[in-house]
């Protein structure tokens, strides 16, 4: 606000208006939630858009989901893809832990920058398919790289520090509201949901569908990122709303060892009917109980006894707990007990 004359003009403020402290945004968000006021203007606009045929029911919408080149030019992309890209970008960045060392953390964004420029240079080559260049997110990638990276003499890549970045108003921000993405209609935001900052995206998916249903704007296909997907939502969206939720499911966290032989959840055998789980060593848990996670989603927790785990030779591959190992997993949609 302090540096934006256009906003001061739109709001009828004096040029000397200092603006407000950034912490006031938290109070503003709290008032929006308390008054349920974030939909007042948008709903009126959507009514007009539907009357003009700009929004249609049971089309395609996306939330935090981007187009990918693999869907446009898969053969060409396979030809230029480097093996290390599969390791770095096989899943979203929040799906793995950043390096612990300072030097490794500083090197990571530079490596990502090099990979991004390699892709952009390949897209600029004469033999690159025109349909790949036309993907809207390629333009977004160029803008993001322009903002965060600088190439010094000799082509050396430099990660811009805070003072080197452009003003906040000129930086790209990632939208998180549902948007129409049918090719034959305008791309319009169809819903706004204001949540507490600490609430994970996954806790909003069902509520987004409920609000879209109330407006009669449910899509047939809803494209989302990994943060909005879990097994229960994939099944429940299709069963309850006839919405095909499309998005990558987050990978299970791994406890890697030097021999890469750590026990993971997939190594445990689940018997939902008899409420029993068997570990890779053939032991069953001492307790099995239904719980709820931090967002209220139902889960099952199975805790193995200290006696079994304490004497187990494979303990170090399974758990670092001094007590018995504990396995927690989301409830399957077909498990009616949950």
Contact 141, 89 (CB under 8 A): no
32/59 Cα distance (integer angstroms)? 29
Residues 77 and 133 in one domain: yes
Domain assignment present for 5: no
284/82 Cα distance (integer angstroms)? 44
Residues 159 and 179 in one domain: no
**H or E element: which one contains 298?**
strand 298-303
Residues 238 and 312 in one domain: no
Residues 190 and 42 in one domain: yes
Q: pLDDT at position 175, please?
A: 44
Region for residue 296 given its phi and psi (left: phi exceeds 0; alpha: psi -120 to 50; beta: otherwise): left
Contact 281, 306 (CB under 8 A): no
Domain assignment present for 285: yes
Question: Measured between alpha carbons, how far is residue 299 from residues 278, 290, 293, 313, 338 in Å?
Answer: 17, 6, 7, 29, 8
Burial 97-124 (b: 16+ CB within 10 A, else e): eeeeeeeeeeeeeeebbebbbebeebbe
| pTM for the structure as a whole | 0.48
Q: pLDDT at position 265, please?
A: 76
Residues 283 and 203 in one domain: no
160/45 Cα distance (integer angstroms)? 39
Residues 102 and 157 in one domain: yes
Domain assignment present for 193: yes
Q: pLDDT at position 319, please?
A: 77
Domain assignment present for 25: no
Percent helix / strand / coil, the chain, rounded to 5: 40, 15, 45
Domain assignment present for 251: no
Total count of domains within the chain: 3
Residues 56 and 79 in one domain: no
Structural domain boundaries, residue 189: 38-60+174-246
Q: pLDDT at position 301, please?
A: 85
Q: pLDDT at position 159, please?
A: 85
Domain assignment present for 252: no
Residues 140 and 221 in one domain: no
Residues 163 and 291 in one domain: no
Residues 178 and 165 in one domain: no
319/262 Cα distance (integer angstroms)? 9
Domain assignment present for 87: yes
Q: pLDDT at position 243, please?
A: 92
Q: pLDDT at position 233, please?
A: 87
Residues 76 and 50 in one domain: no
Residue in 254, 232, 240 with CA at minimum distance from that of residue 212:
240
Q: pLDDT at position 338, please?
A: 36
User: Which of 149, 170, 191 is the endpoint of a domain?
Assistant: 170
Domain assignment present for 309: yes
User: Which of 212, 246, 280 is the endpoint of a domain?
Assistant: 246
User: Which of 170, 198, 225 is the endpoint of a domain?
Assistant: 170
Q: How far apart are the first and last CA of the chain?
A: 49
Three-state SS for 278?
strand
Contact 279, 305 (CB under 8 A): no
Q: What tens-digit pLDDT sequence spans the chain (338 residues)?
A: 677 888 888 888 888 888 777 777 778 777 877 777 777 778 888 888 888 888 878 888 877 654 456 556 778 888 888 888 877 776 666 556 777 888 888 888 888 889 989 999 999 999 888 888 877 778 878 888 888 888 876 678 888 887 887 776 566 644 445 666 677 777 778 887 766 656 777 888 888 899 889 888 888 888 887 778 888 888 889 999 999 988 877 665 555 544 455 677 778 888 888 888 888 888 888 888 888 766 566 788 888 888 888 888 888 777 777 666 666 665 543 343 33
Residues 159 and 306 in one domain: no
């Amino acid at each position: 606000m302090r540096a934006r004359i256009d906003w001061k003009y739109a709001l009828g403020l004096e040029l000397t208006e200092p603006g407000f402290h950034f912490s006031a945004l938290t109070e503003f968000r709290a008032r929006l939630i308390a008054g349920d006021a974030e939909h007042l203007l948008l709903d009126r606009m959507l009514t007009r858009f539907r009357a003009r045929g700009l929004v249609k029911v049971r089309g395609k919408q996306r939330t935090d989901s981007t187009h990918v080149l693999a869907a446009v030019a898969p053969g060409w992309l396979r030809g230029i893809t480097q093996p290390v890209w599969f390791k770095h970008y096989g899943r979203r960045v929040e799906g793995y832990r950043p390096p612990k060392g300072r030097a490794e953390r500083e090197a990571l964004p530079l490596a990502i920058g090099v990979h991004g420029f390699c892709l952009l240079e390949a897209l600029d080559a004469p033999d690159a398919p025109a349909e790949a260049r036309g993907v809207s997110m390629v333009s977004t990638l160029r803008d993001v790289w322009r903002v965060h990276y600088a190439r010094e003499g000799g082509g050396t890549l430099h990660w811009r520090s805070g003072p080197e970045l452009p003003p906040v108003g000129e930086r790209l921000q990632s939208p998180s509201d549902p948007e129409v993405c049918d090719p034959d209609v305008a791309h319009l935001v169809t819903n706004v949901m204001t949540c507490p900052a600490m609430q994970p995206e996954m806790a909003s998916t069902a509520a987004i569908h409920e609000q879209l249903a109330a407006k009669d704007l449910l899509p047939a296909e809803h494209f989302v990122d990994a943060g909005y997907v879990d097994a229960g939502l994939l099944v429940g969206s299709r069963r309850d709303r006839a919405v095909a939720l499309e998005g990558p499911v987050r990978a299970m966290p791994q406890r890697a060892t030097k021999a890469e032989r750590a026990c993971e959840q997939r190594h445990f055998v689940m018997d939902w009917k008899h409420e029993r789980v068997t570990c890779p060593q053939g032991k069953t848990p001492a307790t099995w109980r239904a719980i709820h996670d931090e967002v209220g989603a139902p889960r099952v927790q199975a805790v193995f006894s200290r006696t079994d785990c304490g004497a187990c030779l494979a303990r170090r591959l399974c758990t670092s707990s001094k007590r018995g190992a504990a396995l927690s997993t989301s409830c399957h949609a077909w498990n009616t007990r949950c």
